Structure 1
Amino acid sequence: MRHLLSALISSAKAGGNRQSNLDPEIRNMGQRLPDDQMQLYRRVDEVLFYIWDPIGISRRDWPKDEYQSYLPRVFTMLLEQAEPEKIQDYLIQIEAEYMGLGRKFGIKKRTRNLVSLLCSLRNSILLESGENVKWGSGVEYQK
């Protein structure tokens, strides 16, 4: 997981991203996101598609926008520094109930690890920009 986190953080710092339809969606929110938040938005999209990927489409030739309907809420929860358990519950609800996949063995642990990765990305990207962020424990850090 650390290697994956390092790769995503390096990609974020380099400004790399996969092609998607994110910019039009963000413009539809009524305002343009600051660069650091846009960077986080793109990274969350990548994590949802390549890592969370509950239906296993990232290894196939499938549209890269499959999970983008869940992206704004996960992104907002991260920005608002929601408790990691709330983000975890939301993702489990989507996977188990909305997608109809049920509560498979290991879903809580896998999703907890995913949320930990998302919070680490948030903290890394926003700390780079100089914003105050709270880690999952609620402790506030400044750059």
Structure 2
Amino acid sequence: MPDDLVVTGRWTVPDAELSERFSRSSGPGGQGVNTADSRVELSYDVAGSPTLPDHLRDRVLGRLAGRLVDGVLTIAASEHRTQLANRRAARERMAAVLRDACAPPPPTRRPTRPTRGSKERRLAAKKRRGETKRGRQGRFE
């Protein structure tokens, strides 16, 4: 399954930069769960990657700061019974995390002012509510 990890249309992570570790998984699998190394840990060195453009590296390192250990992003997958399915799931999850992290920031919000009509409606509603409360005063004395 040595395919490059496609993150965006312009950026792919070469398979050589990814490292996989396999271990025993918990969960379904019956007797085979004790013998099969179906859990997958996929790691990618974000800080030391030569293929990651510098402007994206800074953005990804900033956004994933809480998930990185020494600049390395690690994704674990153990939800499937087979190693192949877990490898596929880990690669898809890694691509999704990197895609979200390298996305451009949203445009800044332009501050707007409330319209005259909305101000008048708000004040009229406050006045009505005050009249309702004023009408209740002295009722139960």
TM-score bucket of the superposed structures, by smaller chain: under 0.3
Q: Which has the larger radius of gyration?
A: 2
User: What TM-score do the two structures reach when normalised by structure 2?
Assistant: 0.24
Comparing both chains, which one has the higher relative contact order based on Cα–Cα distances under 8 Å and sequence gaps of 6 or more?
1
User: What TM-score do the two structures reach when normalised by structure 1?
Assistant: 0.24
Q: Could you say which structure has the higher strand fraction?
A: 2
Q: Could you say which structure has the higher helix fraction?
A: 1
